[in-house]
Amino acid sequence: MKTLIKAMLTVVTVGYSAMSLSQVAVVVGAKSAATALNAEQVAGLFLGKSDHLPGVGTGLLLDQPESSPTRELFYTKVTGKSSAQVKATWSRLVFSGQGVPPKMIENSEAVKKTVTTHPNALGYIEKSAVDSSVKVLLTVD
């Protein structure tokens, strides 16, 4: 009986963890002048096709580590590419002198801290990490 209860708790915990990572929020600092974005605009920014953040001008893009499940979900949902494909895209752009990849930030908390101190910074975090320090420009399911 105890084994069954432990197994059920494990399933519930894993399911809850997966649900909390099922949404990603694209964010700027709460005081940023940046305006709402659609998925195509965000994909353009994070794939090096554009550097213009509406309402702000040139944006400082913040990326999470390759090992981050948030990163994989973000790129898969927004760009339709895996983070490995995105890395290859940026490698080509950097090699040809056509772009600078997003700045790597340790985790969602660090992204929140950076967007609050840089008015032109744009990053992504788990939706569950959203608080009053950030403004959500796009939610990705």
88-128 pLDDT, tens digit per residue, is: 999 999 999 999 999 999 999 999 999 999 999 999 999 99
- Per-residue pLDDT band for 8 (boundaries 50, 70, 90) equals very low
How far are the Cα atoms of 9, 13, 53, 96, 100 from residue 105, in angstroms, in the given order?
Answer: 33, 27, 19, 24, 15
What are the phi and psi torsion angles at 65 (to 5°)? -60, 150
Rounded Cα distance between 102 and 65, Å, is 11
Residue 78 maps to a domain? yes
Residue 3 maps to a domain? no
Residue 17 scores a pLDDT above 70: no
Whichever domain contains 115, its CATH number is 3.40.190.10
Domain total in the chain: 1
pTM: 0.83
Nearest to 28 by CA among 141, 126, 129, 118: 118
Residue 30 maps to a domain? yes
Residue 95, domain extent? 23-140
Q: Which two tokens stand for residue 41?
A: 């605009």
- Strand pairing class (121-126; 24-29): antiparallel
| pLDDT, position 83 | 86
Residue 5 maps to a domain? no
Query: pLDDT tens-digit profile of 39-78?
Result: 999 999 999 999 899 999 999 999 999 999 999 999 999 9
